[in-house]
Amino acid sequence: MNFSKIVCLFIFFFGVSVFGQKDSIVAKPLNQYPPESLKTDEFGNKYFYDERQKIKVYEINGEPVVVLDELVLVNKPRFNNQLDKNYYYFLNKKLNRVYPLFVTALQQYRDIQADMTDMDSKAKRKFVRERQNMLADQYEKQLRDLTTTEGQVFAKLMNRATGKNVYEIIKEMRGGWSAFWWNVKGKMADIDLKDQYNPHKNRTDEFIESLLQSNWNSGYLQPYPGAGDFKARK
């Protein structure tokens, strides 16, 4: 078992063990894409647009060449160097892939909280187990396809929306013992389950916040319910 590739997305799915893939862009020669799916740019060059990865795939001398989507940026952070800028656009690709799954997970989590309002401890445990099995069947394939970085972005989004980190949500739903063991597994994967989303103190969080605002303002993504309520502590 390669713990460095574990994606700790059990935030909401209560224990589905997910193994991340390498964070890499997959591109094939143009002749391996359906001809009807190819497009032509303003210079007459043919390309394939990969919606999932948010990339354009061209071909030069028989080799695939990838061009990342550009964003109309709002609240763009200051980049220290080109590597910094590349990382920003890399995170944008990850955010766009994870966001629809996050919105669904957030609504499910809020529904579960509402359903458990009047339950005692025993009824809550039974209810969570039943929902865990249902959600695992429904979402496990999607979660297993996520990369480690996409899992971390998912965790950041859930923390932003709920105000709770991974450890706190597991403890709420599964109890302190489960939270303790998941925390141990997280440390083995170099992931801090108690990490808080804070754009003022964390460079990655600053980039995610900027990308969220840019995507919302440009219409690429729709704000989730309550998105405007977030206030980060400086």
**pLDDT tens across 159-194, in order?**
999 998 877 877 776 667 666 666 666 666 666 777
How long, in residues, is the chain? 234
Residue ranges in the chain whose pLDDT is less than 70 = 1-25, 68-75, 124, 128-145, 173-175, 177-191, 234
- The pLDDT score that the predictor gives to residue 17 is 41
- The pLDDT score that the predictor gives to residue 36 is 92
- The pLDDT score that the predictor gives to residue 99 is 93
Q: CB-based burial of residue 144 (10 Å sphere; 0-12 exposed, 13-18 middle, 19+ buried)?
A: middle
Separation of alpha carbons 60 and 54, rounded Å: 20
- Is-contact 48 41, C-beta < 8 A? no
Report which of 198, 181, 126, 138 is spatially closest to residue 12, judged by C-alpha positions: 138
Report which of 144, 135, 115 is spatially closest to residue 21, judged by C-alpha positions: 144
Q: pTM of the entire structure? A: 0.68
Angle at the Cα of 232 (from 229 to 233), degrees rounded to 5? 135
